[in-house]
Structure 1
Amino acid sequence: MSDLPNENVHDYPRPPRLEAVPHRVCIRLGDRTIANTTRALRVLETHHAPTYYLPPEDVAADFAPASGGSFCEWKGQARYFDVSAGGILAPRAAWSYAAPSRAFAALADHLAFYAGLMTSCSVGGEPVIPQPGDFYGGWVTANLTGRPKGARGTEHW
Structure 2
Amino acid sequence: MDQEALERARAAWTFRGQQRPAFAHVPGAGQESVWDYPRPPLYVRDARLIEIHAGNRCLARSDVSIRVLETGSPPSVYLPFDAFDASMLRPSPRRTLCEWKGEAHYWHVQGSDGLIRDALWSYPDAEGDAAVIAGWLAAYPARLRCVVAGETVRPQAGGYYGGWITAEIVGPFKGEPGTRHW
Work out which of the residue numbers 120, 139, 159 in structure 2 matches 1:113.
139
Q: Give me the whole-angstrom Cα distance separating, in 2, the residues matched to 1:87 and 1:133.
A: 24
State whether structure 2 residue 86 is matched by structure 1 residue 71: no
Name the SS of the counterpart of 1:12 in structure 2: coil
Aligned partner of 2:179 in structure 1 is 154
Aligned partner of 1:30 in structure 2 is 55
Please provide the CA RMSD for this pair: 1.5
2:37–2:72 contact (8 Å) kept in structure 1: yes
Aligned partner of 1:96 in structure 2 is 122
Q: Give me the whole-angstrom Cα distance separating, in 1, the residues matched to 2:168 and 2:113.
A: 33
Aligned partner of 2:38 in structure 1 is 13
Aligned partner of 2:160 in structure 1 is 135
Query: Unaligned stretches of 5+ in structure 1?
Result: none
Larger CA Rg, structure 1 vs 2: 2
The one-letter code of the counterpart of 1:71 is L
TM-score normalised by L of structure 2: 0.80
CA-to-partner distance for each residue in 1:29-71, whole Å, 9 max, x for gaps?
1111111111111100010000001111011142222132111
1:23–1:38 contact (8 Å) kept in structure 2: yes
2:125–2:131 contact (8 Å) kept in structure 1: yes
Q: Give me the whole-angstrom Cα distance separating, in 2, the residues matched to 1:100 and 1:45.
A: 16
After TM superposition, give the deviation of residue 124 of structure 1 in Å: 1.6
After TM superposition, give the deviation of residue 88 of structure 1 in Å: 2.6
CA-to-partner distance for each residue in 1:63-92, whole Å, 9 max, x for gaps?
222132111111111011111134631111
Q: Give me the whole-angstrom Cα distance separating, in 2, the residues matched to 1:155 and 1:148.
A: 11
Aligned partner of 2:110 in structure 1 is 84
Larger relative contact order (C-alpha < 8 A, sep ≥ 6)? 1
Query: Unaligned stretches of 5+ in structure 2?
Result: 1-29
Name the SS of the counterpart of 2:68 in structure 1: strand
Q: Give me the whole-angstrom Cα distance separating, in 2, the residues matched to 1:30 and 1:144.
A: 26
TM-score normalised by L of structure 1: 0.92
Runs of 4+ in 1 over 2 A off after TM superposition: 85-88
After TM superposition, give the deviation of residue 15 of structure 1 in Å: 1.3
Aligned partner of 1:126 in structure 2 is 151
> How many residues are matched?
153
Name the SS of the counterpart of 1:57 in structure 2: helix
